Structure 1
Amino acid sequence: MEPFSFATSDTLDFPVSIRIINLEGAEPPLRYSTLLDHPELRHIGSNQSTHSDLYVTVQVWAGSKPLTVPVQTAYKAFRNERRWNEWLTLPITYSALPQNARLAITIWDLSPLPAEGAQGNAVPFGGTTLPLFDKDNQLHKGRQKCHVYRHRKADGNDDTKTPAFLPKKRARKGVLEDKEAEELDRMEKLFKKHEMGEIPRVDWLDQLVFRGFEKRGLQSARSSLKLAQRAQLAQDSGPTKPQDPNAPPEPSNYMLNVELPRFDFPVVFADHEYPPPPISSLQPLSSSQSNVILKPPPEVHFGPGISPEQEEDEDSSEEGYTGRLIRVYDPEVAARDNPAESKHRRLVRSQHRNGMLDKDLKPNAKVRDELNTIMAYSPTHVLTPEEKDLVWKFRHHLTRNKKALTKFAKSVNWQDASEARQAVQLLGKWTDIDVDDALELLGPTFDNPALRAFAVERLRKADDEELLLYLLQLVQALKYEHILPKGREGQGQQGQGQEGTAATASSGAHDSSLARFLISRAVGSFTLGNYFWWYVMVECDDKSADQGPDNQAIYGKIAYDFMAELVRQPGGEEVRKTLKRQAEWIAILSRISGEIKESNESIAKRTERVKAFLADPRNELVNIDPPLPLPLDPSVQIVGVVPEETHVFKSSLHPIKVTFRTTTGKTYPILFKTGDDLRQDQLVIQIIALMDSLLKKENLDLKLLPYKILATSTSAGLTQFVHSMTLQAISSKYRANPALAYLKQNNPDPHGPLGLRREALDTFVRSCAGYCVITYILGVGDRHLDNLLLAPDGHFFHADFGYILGRDPKPFAPAMKLCKEMVDAMGGSSSEHYKKFKEYCFLAYSALRKNSNLILNLFSLMANANIPDIKLEPDKAALKVKERFHLEMSEEDSIRHLERIMDDNLNALVPVVIDKLHELVQAFRA
């Protein structure tokens, strides 16, 4: 077979278009006797003039149903011929076309009187249906001559009665023989080949042929008109035969010339491949059940214009039509591996498994580029079988590339014992990998213990400060570890005393390299141990149906192993007592918070009630001796409460502001809230803190200073209270440029820019840029002036992260919250400070895109964390963040895209309306 270059229709993202050229042909005028019998016919335009005004509509049909609205030509007055010469663009692309797509083309005439098939004052002059794909599934292109069926609309059905192309036998049947017409048809086909470049061009000879063909065409038109007149006279003089209303219409002498777009290569139909439906949970029939007589197949009802039976005329037999093919999905096929693909994979891998030459195998320049492309894939990208085979083939060469390990792990068939053994042996030769790759190996995709242990070894090199940034996700990764069920680890070890019991309890965690690592680091650092303990306690407290008893058993066992290991360390008993005191302290605050939330008292009475409770010595909060490390921030040790600075906020959950005295003589205010799951806010704050650390490594300090949040259970938690005001409150207090007025009041400097201290303005500009970019990447929603806060020193920050990953309760919400109050405080959109703000945004976005793999892996580890906006679509959480990074774009294009988002949001009216509506709602509630 000769090489055949072609393109597939599913890749052709180009709108369907057609050029309506002209209408050829003529017919004898109506006799006066006919006009006397039917006087309404004299008012139709085509009966008054042979060049009357007509217009054409085109509509895409498939499956006997319209796919688009009709598109029509513009008005055009005709003189000598009906020629439109107009391109029409249809609202559908070639990639969206099904194989049975066709164009229903109708020519419309005008009549002031109602008639059959009329639409208003438009009556059908004629119609034709043009299929877009031929019998070889190739797209039609170039000029097409379409038969016109008089006084009929194009139906567009699958078994259309107005086909543009007729079989040869049907074209001859019932029509007087015309050798000249046959010759013209042959010449038309040759002209089409010449137009498509299939016949060489000779200019002087082509001109002669064109002139001769034009004269011959005019002569043929006259002769065909005479033949039609003779046929009409013969029919009138002979006996009249009754017409069958169900008989198919005959084509007229009119032909509509149209032109379809031309492409450099043939376009072959290719359907979009959808993923298979989910596998059925039904078990296959047993041998005894398979003998049971099955029910008859269900009856299939076909739509209009679709006939399941083969037509019995001689033309349909020539086209080879054999009825409609219905494909049925078999779930048993998808439940098993494709034997051909499995055999192919084994053959390919066997060539590069034990060969000595594989160790010295190096890729050429082309293969090296392919490997570099694979290495640049994001963690969410799924490798194709060909890419997996390529990575496996050059696995020894890739051991020097630290970014290649995760791709190599994805290319290994870990179910194959021999292949898994080869892969584990190769891990020892691999170069050191980065933390983001180690976190990816701890996700739910990889369950090989040796591979996960290799990732844990990389984490051992991280210091406590870096490990704290990922601790929340590492605790979640324990769900994917192989940990023995509770009760099996202590068998055969009774009666060995306290040390023997602790050693036995820890042996259960030895089944998990990650659990051993986290426990060992947590007992060595009180800060890590504090957060590790509370993260584990929250998982133990989660009794929702999404987690189940197995999850609680796993974390209950880890908590027991942590305490047992802690007791064995020097001073571990004191740390254990400290963690217990923290739990008691949380229980005391939870009790008063629950009582306040359920009471129906006023805010003043609730506040006084909380003050009296905190000042009561029996609750042991006035004086805390010895000092207690604050669970929210273990570096802060509290020695007592300050009851007079207590406040209860007016909201549905009534959070309590409690202020504590610290060992340094300062105060530390916190917010304690019950009835709300703070794990989503805790995740967002943790990601903001991580991004702040990543930006500082790029020497970009955006003054973020995110406040701290700690969930102590699934319905309670602590939040650091930062002295600040919402932009809504600032706008109510200061009318003209409120944010700038607020900053001037707290940071006055007549000689500084905009009348305030340079440091305060710089802090404001930097923090605005940082939070704008970060909240855009995380898809934080429900942004209004009440959750945008400004501290007196110029720090701007966001609060209340109840909607993330693109969710928003308000319609048409902007992708980035950049309000007018923020820009006005910088001096306006044309000021130097706003330009600096945009530069900070671009630098921050570029820096975070470089670390996108780390952020995506952290969200992948949180897939099963029972966080509201993640559990809606757990498998798409990382993909939603990936969309905001626009990794498919270059750095320059991504920055340009971010700038468009900022400009559109700044000039949009919807955010202003949302803020005003929110202000009105809050005022009504007050």
Structure 2
Amino acid sequence: QKKSFNSLLPEIQEVIKAVMEKDCISSCQADELGILWQYRHYLYDYSNLLPWILQGQINWDFSHLSEIYDLLGLWKKLDPMQSLELLLPQYSDTHVREFACRCLQDMPTDELIDFLPQLIQALKFESYHGSALAKLLLEQACKSIRFAHQLFWLLKGAAQDQGYKRRYELMFVALVSVAGDALYQEFKKQEEMVKCLTQTSERVQVAKDKDNTLKRELQTVYELFHDKGDVLMPYNPGISVCGLDLKSCSYFTSNAVPLKLVFKNSKEHADPVYSMFKVGDDLRQDMLTLQMIRIMDRLWLKQGLDLKMITFSCLATGPKKGMVEIVTESDTLRKIQVSSGVTGSFKDRPIKEWLQKHNPTELEYQKAVENFTRSCAGYCVATYVLGICDRHNDNIMLKQSGHMFHIDFNKFLGDAQMFGNIKRDRVPFVLTSDMAYVINNGEKQNNNFQEFVDMCCQAFNILRKNTNLFLNLFALLSKSGIPGIHKDAARYIQRVLLPGQTSVQASAIFTRYSDIVYTFFHPLLRDEQEAQKENLGIQKFRESQVQLVPQGSPFGQVKLSLEYKKSTLMIMVMHAKDLPGGSTLPSPYVKIYLLPDPDKQTKRKTKIVKDSTHPTYNEVIEYKMSDNDMRMKTLQVSVWDHDRLGENNLIGAVYIKLRNINLTGDNVQWYNLDRIQVTDASMLA
């Protein structure tokens, strides 16, 4: 019988709420799990607690199974992405796994395909070949050719695991049976094409005369199309090709000597299809990384955050071989930088000039800058969370439309290359001065970069809200054999997503980790100081004075995030903008008081940002106090210009009566600064 959660004793409610805040790989005490099982009938409105509740049932013998199955019958369906947790090996009961599959049926096939690598690995944890999960995969394959193609190639790869070869072979036979003869014949053509390309690649690798060897060996592929007709691309069955443009095919000069293939599109007047075929590298890491980035982008889009992400198709067609889609109208950053001369890599203008060249009108260029800024933010967050290493200007690419994207993901989860005892990758992600030059539109500092930082923090916090999804996805791959995936992979993801931190705290930590404001952006500001030193004729005010100036004076703005949670007032000082300059640029810092405060016990300061009218701080200041005390306070936020040799000077201030603001959620707002400093609390009544 369902009962109300609010009827539980307060101390029991607190225990349960504490468990709700834990992620799925954190540990719970035995007494906590016992409470969840004991009071399970009070928790039907909290469906996400089901995995914890099931762990709280110690006895899974026959006499207790009826209680568990009754619970599953009454429990409402989980969100499909959360139900992935019930496919982990610790949930071995058939009925529990059937419940998970019923939840997954609510996910559209086009979304479910994003989780197919993990679902195929989850087959290893089933008790029987004919499991509910196996049936689900076959049913989805009947609904979607794209799903069937992906399932076909992933099953071929999974069957390399000798311990589970029999199960995957049975799934393979079942897929061919339900797919029908026409699709089976298509699979055979793709396999034959891959076999020919593998042979060609291997011979080109060892040949001295690679050019002639390539032309000779590709004749086999050319003849395949002549004999078999059109072939669907293995990595994307939505693309049909009818031949090879032999004159345009070539090879890359990297160690594996990948083939650059130009296929003729079956659609008349359609563009050719550019692909790379590689033998010698394990592409499963690249597949996994691109899968995670696609899932991240889907989560961002669901929250209304469009970061203009570009990914490309990648498919491992066998052990250490596979095909990769080539993104057209794009170049590596190295090529773009070198186009500006030998020292192009050390200049700030090459990326901007390259984008202007390919986007000649102002409207086109501004759109390209927006694409660049947003995609740069997305890849900064994605590469940080996934611990992508070995980032340099040869594996970061840029489309003519401004979209930036990364390639070559053979180092991830923090597996940095080492030079002796020194890590080659010493920053969490790559953001160079020439990237900042584009984001900030080059000539003068403005709030573009602050918006970029805010997008990074927003994207990061969206991923944090979906921590369990990523932990489950990596946990399901623990026995996949993918290089770099080990039992602690999920722990790495858990650690970088900052468990236990609020969104405000996580934003501050993320900004501090990346050091994006100082390490990469601030050197650019120093180069541009001379162009910005305009004397605005603003008289500076001493910190010891009380000044009153009419509102509306142009003293800039400050962006704050205010939240009250668990008897703590959290104030994040995010940015300031449009601060007045003078004969020299200000070096601003922010000072905070909670008034009235005659003894100045609540005084707090941020760091000093040198020579900037648009500083970014993202620093969190916390005050422990009751709700009643907090609502009696007025928040004083003042911005000061630091003077190393004399007294600091007031730039502007704002006063916020906390009783007038709803602080139950994250309250983010820009506040106008005025030339006013109040030291008498009676003036704030």
Whether the TM-score (by the shorter chain) exceeds 0.5 is yes
Q: 2:175 aligns with which of 562, 572, 578?
A: 562
> Matches of 2:368 and 2:318 in 1, distance apart?
37
* Aligned equivalent of 1:880: 492
SS in 2 for 1:452: helix
Conserved? CA contact 1:476–1:862, under 8 Å: yes
What's the offset of the Cα at 1:369? 2.6
The code of the aligned residue for 2:211 comes to T
* Aligned equivalent of 2:261: 658
* Aligned equivalent of 1:691: 296
> Matches of 2:5 and 2:320 in 1, distance apart?
58
Conserved? CA contact 1:406–1:437, under 8 Å: no
What's the offset of the Cα at 1:908? 7.1
1:201-242 CA-partner distances (Å, limit 9, x unpaired) = xxxxxxxxxxxxxxxxxxxxxxxxxxxxxxxxxxxxxxxxxx
> Matches of 2:295 and 2:466 in 1, distance apart?
11
* Aligned equivalent of 1:450: 95
> Matches of 2:259 and 2:366 in 1, distance apart?
35
What's the offset of the Cα at 1:674? 0.6
Q: Aligned pair 1:392/2:7, yes or no? A: no
What are the residue-to-residue correspondences of 1:564-603 with 2, within 5 Å?
Answer: 564-566=177-179, 572-601=180-209
* Aligned equivalent of 1:859: 474
SS in 1 for 2:488: helix
What's the offset of the Cα at 1:359? 9.8
Moved more, 682-691 or 553-562: 553-562
Conserved? CA contact 1:782–1:808, under 8 Å: yes
Q: 1:822 aligns with which of 423, 431, 435?
A: 435
Q: 1:614 aligns with which of 218, 221, 224?
A: 218
The code of the aligned residue for 2:281 comes to D
* Aligned equivalent of 2:58: 413
Q: 1:776 aligns with which of 381, 384, 409?
A: 384
Q: Aligned pair 1:801/2:409, yes or no? A: yes
* Aligned equivalent of 1:748: 360
> Matches of 1:815 and 1:624 in 2, distance apart?
51
> Matches of 1:882 and 1:465 in 2, distance apart?
27
Q: 1:758 aligns with which of 352, 362, 366?
A: 366
What's the offset of the Cα at 1:395? 0.7
What's the offset of the Cα at 1:879? 1.1
| Distance of aligned partners of 1:400 and 1:727 in 2 relative to their CA distance in 1, 3 Å threshold | same
| Distance of aligned partners of 1:624 and 1:806 in 2 relative to their CA distance in 1, 3 Å threshold | farther
Conserved? CA contact 2:313–2:324, under 8 Å: yes
* Aligned equivalent of 1:629: 232
Moved more, 624-633 or 774-783: 624-633
Q: 1:730 aligns with which of 324, 336, 343?
A: 336
Q: Aligned pair 1:425/2:33, yes or no? A: no
The code of the aligned residue for 1:611 comes to K
> Matches of 1:619 and 1:662 in 2, distance apart?
16
The code of the aligned residue for 1:391 comes to L
Conserved? CA contact 1:594–1:674, under 8 Å: yes
What are the residue-to-residue correspondences of 1:217-616 with 2, within 5 Å?
Answer: 362-413=7-58, 415-483=60-128, 509-510=129-130, 512-540=131-159, 542=160, 547=161, 549-566=162-179, 572-601=180-209, 606-615=210-219
Conserved? CA contact 2:40–2:53, under 8 Å: yes
> Matches of 2:186 and 2:220 in 1, distance apart?
22
* Aligned equivalent of 1:700: 305
> Matches of 2:370 and 2:398 in 1, distance apart?
13
| Distance of aligned partners of 1:706 and 1:360 in 2 relative to their CA distance in 1, 3 Å threshold | closer
- TM normalised by structure 1 equals 0.53
> Matches of 2:502 and 2:221 in 1, distance apart?
63
What's the offset of the Cα at 1:402? 1.4
Conserved? CA contact 2:355–2:368, under 8 Å: yes
Conserved? CA contact 2:431–2:520, under 8 Å: no
Conserved? CA contact 2:155–2:172, under 8 Å: yes
**Overall identity of the aligned pairs, in %:** 28
SS in 2 for 1:710: strand
SS in 2 for 1:650: coil
| Distance of aligned partners of 1:360 and 1:758 in 2 relative to their CA distance in 1, 3 Å threshold | closer
What's the offset of the Cα at 1:366? 2.9
Conserved? CA contact 1:692–1:702, under 8 Å: yes
SS in 2 for 1:742: helix
> Matches of 2:228 and 2:169 in 1, distance apart?
30
Conserved? CA contact 2:80–2:106, under 8 Å: no
Conserved? CA contact 1:764–1:796, under 8 Å: yes
Conserved? CA contact 1:674–1:715, under 8 Å: yes
> Matches of 2:196 and 2:316 in 1, distance apart?
16
What are the residue-to-residue correspondences of 1:106-125 with 2, within 5 Å?
Answer: none
What are the residue-to-residue correspondences of 1:121-160 with 2, within 5 Å?
Answer: none
Conserved? CA contact 1:689–1:706, under 8 Å: yes
1:613-670 CA-partner distances (Å, limit 9, x unpaired) = 334687323x475422111111111111111111111011100010112222221100
What's the offset of the Cα at 1:600? 3.0
> Matches of 1:629 and 1:885 in 2, distance apart?
39
SS in 2 for 1:366: helix
The code of the aligned residue for 1:727 comes to L
Conserved? CA contact 1:401–1:431, under 8 Å: no
What's the offset of the Cα at 1:830? 3.5
Conserved? CA contact 1:413–1:419, under 8 Å: no
What's the offset of the Cα at 1:364? 2.3
> Matches of 2:211 and 2:310 in 1, distance apart?
30
| Distance of aligned partners of 1:538 and 1:617 in 2 relative to their CA distance in 1, 3 Å threshold | closer
Point out the structure with max Rg over C-alpha: 1
- Structure 1 residues without counterparts, runs of 5 or longer: 1-355, 484-508, 567-571, 913-926
Length, aligned pairs only: 507
The code of the aligned residue for 1:705 comes to I
> Matches of 1:631 and 1:759 in 2, distance apart?
33
Conserved? CA contact 1:607–1:646, under 8 Å: no
Conserved? CA contact 1:414–1:448, under 8 Å: no
1:707-732 CA-partner distances (Å, limit 9, x unpaired) = 11011112110100113221122221
> Matches of 1:618 and 1:525 in 2, distance apart?
29
SS in 2 for 1:658: strand
| Distance of aligned partners of 1:365 and 1:825 in 2 relative to their CA distance in 1, 3 Å threshold | same
The code of the aligned residue for 2:50 comes to L
| Distance of aligned partners of 1:806 and 1:617 in 2 relative to their CA distance in 1, 3 Å threshold | closer
> Matches of 2:317 and 2:520 in 1, distance apart?
40
The code of the aligned residue for 2:273 comes to Y
> Matches of 2:172 and 2:152 in 1, distance apart?
7
> Matches of 1:767 and 1:360 in 2, distance apart?
44
What's the offset of the Cα at 1:611? 2.9
Q: Aligned pair 1:893/2:505, yes or no? A: yes
> Matches of 2:145 and 2:514 in 1, distance apart?
43
| Distance of aligned partners of 1:681 and 1:359 in 2 relative to their CA distance in 1, 3 Å threshold | same
> Matches of 2:322 and 2:359 in 1, distance apart?
34
Name the structure, 1 or 2, with higher relative contact order (CA <8 Å, separation 6+). Answer: 2
* Aligned equivalent of 1:646: 249
The code of the aligned residue for 1:781 comes to C
> Matches of 2:491 and 2:140 in 1, distance apart?
32
What's the offset of the Cα at 1:700? 1.1
> Matches of 2:93 and 2:220 in 1, distance apart?
56
More strand per residue:
2
Give RMSD over aligned pairs. Answer: 2.3
Conserved? CA contact 2:37–2:54, under 8 Å: no
* Aligned equivalent of 1:869: 484
Conserved? CA contact 1:679–1:714, under 8 Å: no
* Aligned equivalent of 2:594: none
